[in-house]
Amino acid sequence: AFNPIGSLTGMVVASMFILPGLEVSKFRDVEMDNHPEYQTMLPSEVDGLITKAMEQSAEANPEKYTTMVSHDLAVVRTPYVVIALVVLAVLLLFVISKLPDTGHEEEQIHLATLARNLFTNWQYVGGVIAQTFYVGAQIMCWTFIIHYGMTLVGLSSAEAQNYNIVAMGIFLASRFICTFILKYISPGLLLGVLAVGGGLLTAGAIFLQGYTGLYCLVGVSACMSVMFPTIYGIALNGLSPNDAKLGSAGLIFAIVGGAFMPRYQGAIIDGAGMTIAGQALESVRLSFFLPLSCFVVIAIFGFAVALCSPRPVAES
């Protein structure tokens, strides 16, 4: 349940020490001050004009633009250097620490048999698929909260980052609440209900304007809080110890969903908007149909498990 604390700490550091020091943020503030008419325009229009102004500035004074980019890279680089040193320190601890002896030899493992056991288990295969879509939805929702706030609400990068911090705090609190709820309802049912809730809130982020849409996007984190461990437990339920070892590796590999899905969302954001049901949707709003579809897949898996396994699969 304390897993989000690291992410939350990183967001606080970014909001307090990184974003305020970026020259790009200062350029945006100067443009806003120089153009009072931006206050009456849609945030997406303002974002486009500021981007165009920066491109013109780069063409007019390439040396100044290069200096600005180098400065911002230096600001961002420092935290990564610190993270690298911390990771190396942890690695050193593992190297010098003696791992406990299990006291027995492992039985012979036949990978072909294990793979067959796993891939003929619909609950495991469905779990891997659901986990892939969950990680994709999580990364897409969290990655583009800042972009959503800046483009559609008109917030500064630091202000938008604060909403990201709130989302992570909600994620943390909701994990405790949902873990308690697991004592009373089956994991599959809870997963399905949370996925429906996440889908509805994502739809709100797509179709509702201003802060209301942003609040919906922040609220999605409450629904995502226990999805990863719940899917993990459902997928491995009933497997033998050896099957579970290989199966857990497959579930961890499903994290790759968080690697390729945001790329497609970014491509949609870079494209043009669209009118749906008479409502004009900016490309940023349109991009959230991707995490919405992810929640649909997760809901189908959760309710399917709930129907086939009415009793809880694990004690919480």
- For residues 284 and 151, membership in a common domain is answered with yes
User: What residues make up the domain containing 55?
Assistant: 1-101
| pLDDT over 60 at 316, yes or no | no
28/141 same-domain check: no
Question: Confidence class of residue 185 from pLDDT cuts 50, 70 and 90?
Answer: very high
Identify the domain boundary among 48, 78, 101.
Answer: 101
Domain count for the chain, please give it: 2
Q: Is the pLDDT of residue 127 over 70?
A: yes
Q: Which of 37, 72, 101 is the last residue of a domain?
A: 101
What was the pLDDT predicted at 105?
A: 52
Same structural domain, 54 and 140: no
What pLDDT is attached to residue 134?
95
Convert the pLDDT of each residue in 218-249 to its tens digit.
Answer: 999 999 999 999 999 999 988 888 888 888 88
What's the pLDDT at 62?
Answer: 87
* Same domain membership, residue 58 and residue 27: yes
What is the model's pLDDT at position 99? Answer: 65
29 and 86 in a single domain? The answer is yes
Shared domain for 97 and 122, answered yes or no, is no
CATH number at residue 204: 1.20.1250.20
Per-residue pLDDT, 211: 94
Q: For a pLDDT cut of 90, what percent of the chain falls above it?
A: 36
Complete DSSP assignment for the chain? --THHHHHHHHHHIIIIIGGG-HHHHHHHHHHHH-GGGGGS-HHHHHHHHHHHHHHHHHH-HHHHHHHHHHHHHHHHHHHHHHHHHHHHHHHHHHHSPPPP-SSPPPP--HHHHHHHHHT-HHHHHHHHHHHHHHHHHHHHHHTHHHHIIIII---HHHHHHHHHHHHHHHHHHHHHHHHHTTTS-HHHHHHHHHHHHHHHHHHHHHS-HHHHHHHHHHHHHHHTTHHHHHHHHHHTT--HHHHHHHHHHHHHGGGHHHHHHHHHHHHHTS--EEETTEEE-HHHHHTHHHHHHHHHHHHHHHHHHHH--S-SS--
- Is the pLDDT confidence value at 141 over 80? yes
Q: Do 119 and 262 fall within a single domain? A: yes
